[in-house]
Structure 1
Amino acid sequence: MSSKKTTAVAETQAETAPADVWSAGCPSRRVLELIANKWALLLIPLLRGKPQRNNELLRKVGGISQKMLTQTLRDLELNGLVLREDHQTVPPHVEYRLSPIGLSLSRTLIAVDRWAEANHAQIDAARQAARERA
C-alpha cells in the first residue's frame, strides 16, 4: 500500500473512531492544543458578549501584543470558533464574535477563568512553599 493510501486510511479511521484525548493520534488533541493557548483562554470569554473590534480586545487583554492578538484571532477563525466581519468601510471596520461552537466553549472557559481568579493565591502559596523546600 502506498504511503498516501496508508495516510488516507489512517485519517479515515481517526475520523470514525470514538474520540479519546488520551490517545496520541486523536484529533481532539489538536482542539486541546488550540484552546490551551493562554490568549485563546482570555479572548474567547471576552467575545461572549457583543462583537468587538481589534483595538477593543487589545485594550481589554493586558499584556497581549498586536501580533499575538492578530495571530490568535486568525487561529480561532480558521478553526471555526470566531467569526470575522469586515464591514467594507473606510476607515476599516472589522468586528469579531463567537461562532455557535465558540459560544459553547466560552461557557466552560469562563468557569476556568473564575476558578483561576478564586484560587491563584493558593497556587502561589504552594509554588512558594515548593521553592522554600528546594
Structure 2
Amino acid sequence: MPVELIILPERGLVVVRYSGKVTIEDTLFATKSYLSHPEYSAGQKQLVDMSGITGFEKDHVQFMKMQAEKAERLANSGLQSLVVYIAPTAISQDLSAMFVRSWIDVDAVVPLVQHFEAEALGLLGQSEKTIDILLATFAR
C-alpha cells in the first residue's frame, strides 16, 4: 500500500509514509484508518514522509473535497495539529504544496514543509535524526 500509518501515542505523534504513486483513495483509506484507530487522539502531531513518492493522482476537485472533509473534522476537534511534510524531491514538493494550500484557511492545522528528516523531526520535538531510528525506538 502506498500509505503507511504508524501512531506513537507515547509521543503524541503520527508517522505517515507515502511511497510509489499515491491516489486520493489511498489517502482517504489511511485517514479513515487513522481516525478509527484506538490510539487516535485529536491534536496529535503528524510527520508526513513524502520522500518515496514517484507520482500522485492529480484530480484537484477530488483532492479538495477530501481535504474539506478532513478540515471539517479537525476544526470540530477544537485543537490545533502541527503537520510537518518531508518533501525532498520535486514531485514530493508539488504534492506537499497542494496539501499546504488546502490548509491555508484552517486554523486547526499548522502545515510546514522540510527537505530533510532531521529538521522535520526537530520541528516536532523529536531528538532522533531519522524516521527509522524513531520507529526503532518504539519497535513493538
TM-score, length-normalised on structure 1?
A: 0.31
Q: Which has more radius of gyration?
A: 1
Higher share in strand: 2
TM-score, length-normalised on structure 2?
A: 0.30
